[in-house]
Amino acid sequence: MRHHLTFVLMLTLAFTAFSTRTAMANDGHEDKARAPDIFVFVTAEDNQTRGMAMVLARQMLDQGANLRVLLCGPGGELAIRGLEEKLLAPRGITPQQLLRGLMGDGVQVDVCAIFLPNTQYENDDLLEGIGVAMPPEVAEFMLREGVRYFTF
């Protein structure tokens, strides 16, 4: 009887430990799967608007969102090397510096497909790591269930 009780107790402890580890592993995986997909679309010419777009994008990323950024029209200029921008108070940083920070953390950033052909810029003018969006692929992302859109 004593061996039986010891066996049952050990089995219960092993099951509890397994269940706890499994729940913890699933919680982390499920949280990532439940993280919202966020599509930030920047077209603004205004430096403060671009900056706020990047600040909010950073906050969403830091709070667990799966983030993607598309730059088009005047907003596409954020993707250009050597862009001259005014520093934004209070941190003394530019929208492009904020964008580079997002990219450094793995955020996909593209210019829209029609940006380069309709400006004086070429592919070589883009910051390293910024791509040219392919409309079918962007549309697929946009059509995913639950994607939230933020336009600036």
Q: Where are the domains of the chain?
A: 1-34, 35-151
User: Token pair for residue 136?
Assistant: 């079918």
**pLDDT greater than 80 at residue 23:** no
pLDDT, position 96: 98
Half-sphere exposure of 90 (CA within 13 A, CB side): 0
76 three-state secondary structure: helix
Residues 35-151, CATH architecture: 3-Layer(aba) Sandwich (3.40)
Give the pTM: 0.78
Phi, psi of 38 (to 5 degrees): -120, 130
pLDDT, position 34: 77
> Is the pLDDT higher at 145 or at 22?
145
